[in-house]
Amino acid sequence: MAWAAVLFCLEALAFGRAGGGGHYSAGHSFSGGHSYSGGFLSGGRHHHGDGKLLFDLLAAYARWAEAHPLIGVPLTLLILYAVIRLMSAGNDRYVRVTIDRGREAQADSRLQSGLAALRRRDPGFEPEAFLSRVRGAFLKVQEAWCAQDMAPARAFVSDGVMERFGIQLVMQKSLGKRDRMERVEVREARLLMVDSDPQFDALHVSLRASAVDQEVALENGFVLDGGSEPREFVEVWSFLRRPGARTSALGRPGLMEGQCPNCGAVLRIQDAALCASCGSWVASGEYDWVLAEITQAWEWTPREPGRGVPGWGLLSADDPGLNTQFLEDRASVVFWRWQRALWESGAGPLRGVAADGFCDDLAARLREKPGRHEDAAVGAVRVLAVEPGEPHDRAHVLVKWSARGSVLQHVLVLGRRRGVKTDGRSGLASARCPACGAPAASREAAACAYCSAPFNDGTRGWVLLEMVPAELWQRPELPEAAAAAQASGPWDAQLSPVDGLAVLVSAVTADGRVDPQEMAYLQAYAQARGIAPDAAESVISAANAGALSLPAPRDQAQVRAVLGGLIRMSLADGAIADGELGLLNSFAGTHGLDLSAVRAAIQEERVAMYREAKQALASR
């Protein structure tokens, strides 16, 4: 009887199919076609002759094993073990491939849904025509950047992006250097995501390009840094436009081509994105697509559909024009003005965008201890929460950024007088006079030179009240219903690849040392997620130097949420390798979770991702 049971198991295993349901065929096809099950199912029909032959062979083996138990028993157990492992591996592969195809299906479905919604409002929009414009804009921006004169690109970039370029060029010039890019080539431009809200439509474009990128001395062109061969890089460019804008039916050139989309005149713009012919603020998003953010691919994450901002309903009920895009662009302007203030060792550049109290405190600190950041770069800007209050309503905006030797996060607390409402006409014009729309006479101006309206008292718009390291930021106290939105602070389950690396690096370096094997695991983790070697090295070096600013999860629920995000990222790239498992265990151990919790979380995320993938594939 024992050998009969073994025979039954072997036969059952032989006829079992990897994956446990659904059809799998070569070429990643999951519907129709041939189904492979141990080689004995073909074209969906069972071959009885082959089955009888297999049964006879197994029966003969069973008789032999019973006659020679000293050899037969261990050999049979070994065969059973091998078959079970093969079946398990087949099932794992099926699940991995299903998750991979499901993620593609989800992304494609989201993209097509967003495009369909956009085309209902703008029937003339054509993705390929838009991407062709973006390629041209990309080359124009690179040329202007290398010439250290962003005027040719001013018309189609937001105030926040322009501030970023401006301070970075100031830094370059003061150091006597500039970027030189040669053999610039756009290898691929593709739409990643389309999303919309009542205030803006957004297009996120992945640009894969290559160039010979060098730093050269301004005085003599001597190469200071960079190689002589082209290097490939990937950036995500995010464009915004007001929902009422439409694509020209005649294919008329627009902002990216240097023409006013309102009147068609050639734009001659210096600091202010104002058309001299018709007086339109062309970079507001009211007429054409405006570049609102440039993100390295490893720092970009899609906005989660339906994601709420705690407290949003409390303010938007009285201010229907309130929007995250304007707040984030405003925060970018403020951040880069702060960088310029540090660079110049004075609060002047902040006077037009920050409250007098903040500026006075900064000026005093800089007199006592000047300090600046070289090679500053912003990774992400995101609204964390808003809250009503007296005398100011407040918006808490997270800025993730880095500089030479540091990886940092700060929360900018912006304030606006209670009762002030968003001007729906301003669009993305976040560095203009909020009263008359005129540009500031200078960055040091605290009032408008044209209408005398104050810039920095919060009576017209948002100004900087506080700037807090993210690890010290306190979530505002809100009514329970307002606080129940999905946003969960500086760290949540929606991690970018570089966020994930920073979390793991922080855990690995918690004991003050990183052994060579851990370093190899971290480098492999970064490489698998497309993080540039120098960017990964910056995160690791910052951690070793104690300059990696990373907010601690506030409770075990957030620890588990971050762990889930790390696991989901790893599973999305395939199986979790032993090295990655070690990194996950380090993170869990640092925050009071044992290894069983990691194993349980991996299984939970795997099941959830598989279920989501099956649903996405079924709905195609």
Q: How far from chain centre, in Å, is Cα 176? A: 33
Residue 270: pLDDT band with limits 50, 70, 90:
low
Among 53-67, 145-159, 229-243, 480-494, whose mean pLDDT is lowest? Answer: 480-494
Give CA separation, 447 vs 35, 432, 442, in Å: 73, 11, 10
Among 17-26, 210-219, 434-443, whose mean pLDDT is lowest? Answer: 17-26
Query: How much is the pLDDT for 430?
Result: 60
Residue ranges of the alpha helices (H) in 175-231? Answer: none
Domain ranges of the chain: 2-106, 122-303, 306-490, 497-618
Q: Token pair of 507, please?
A: 């855990």
Q: Token pair of 2, please?
A: 């024992």
Which residue has 């970064």 as its token pair?
A: 526
Q: Token pair of 439, please?
A: 């540009």
Average pLDDT over residues 202-223: 96
Q: How far from chain centre, in Å, is Cα 604? A: 24
CA 559 – CA 548 distance, rounded (Å):
18
Among 28-37, 211-220, 310-319, whose mean pLDDT is lowest? Answer: 28-37
CA 188 – CA 207 distance, rounded (Å):
6
422: which residues sit within 8 A by CB, 6+ positions away? 319, 321, 322, 323, 326
Higher-pLDDT residue of 67 and 261 is 261
Nearest Cα neighbor of 101 from 109, 89, 91 is: 109
Task: Give the CA dihedral 127, 130, 136, 141, nearest 10 degrees.
Answer: -110
Query: How much is the pLDDT for 574?
Result: 66
Query: How much is the pLDDT for 89?
Result: 61
Q: Token pair of 534, please?
A: 């120098």
CA 182 – CA 136 distance, rounded (Å):
16
Cβ atoms of residues 202 and 236 within 8 Å:
no
Residue 255: pLDDT band with limits 50, 70, 90:
very high
Query: How much is the pLDDT for 276?
Result: 83
Over the stretch 374-432, which tens digit does the pLDDT of each residue have?
A: 889 999 899 999 999 999 999 999 999 999 889 999 999 999 999 999 876 666 666 66
Residue ranges of the alpha helices (H) in 345-479? Answer: 356-368
Averaged pLDDT score across all residues of the chain:
83
CA 263 – CA 278 distance, rounded (Å):
7
Asked if pLDDT for residue 25 goes beyond 60, the answer is no
Which class would CATH give 122-303? alpha beta
The length of the chain is 620
Higher-pLDDT residue of 482 and 478 is 478
Query: Three-state SS across 7-30?
Result: HHHHHHHHHCCCCCCCCCECCCEC
Strand ranges in 37-176 using DSSP code E only, listed in sequence order: 41-42, 45-46
Among 99-113, 363-377, 395-409, whose mean pLDDT is lowest? Answer: 99-113
Query: How much is the pLDDT for 42?
Result: 35
Residues 316-325 as b/e (b if ≥16 CB within 10 A, e otherwise) read beebeebbbb
Average pLDDT over residues 589-610: 90
Query: How much is the pLDDT for 490?
Result: 57
- Determine the Cα angle at 300 with ends 145 and 423, to 5°: 75
Higher-pLDDT residue of 398 and 439 is 398
Strands 41-42 and 45-46: antiparallel
Asked if pLDDT for residue 170 goes beyond 50, the answer is yes
Average pLDDT over residues 329-337: 94
Give CA separation, 250 vs 12, 124, 246, 261, in Å: 67, 9, 11, 12
Torsion-angle region of residue 412: left (phi > 0), alpha (psi -120 to 50) or beta? beta
Helices H / strands E in the chain, number of each: 15, 11
The letter for the amino acid at 378 is V
Query: How much is the pLDDT for 447?
Result: 77
Which residue has 């990964």 as its token pair?
A: 536
Asked if pLDDT for residue 503 goes beyond 80, the answer is yes
Query: How much is the pLDDT for 102?
Result: 79
Residue 19: pLDDT band with limits 50, 70, 90:
very low
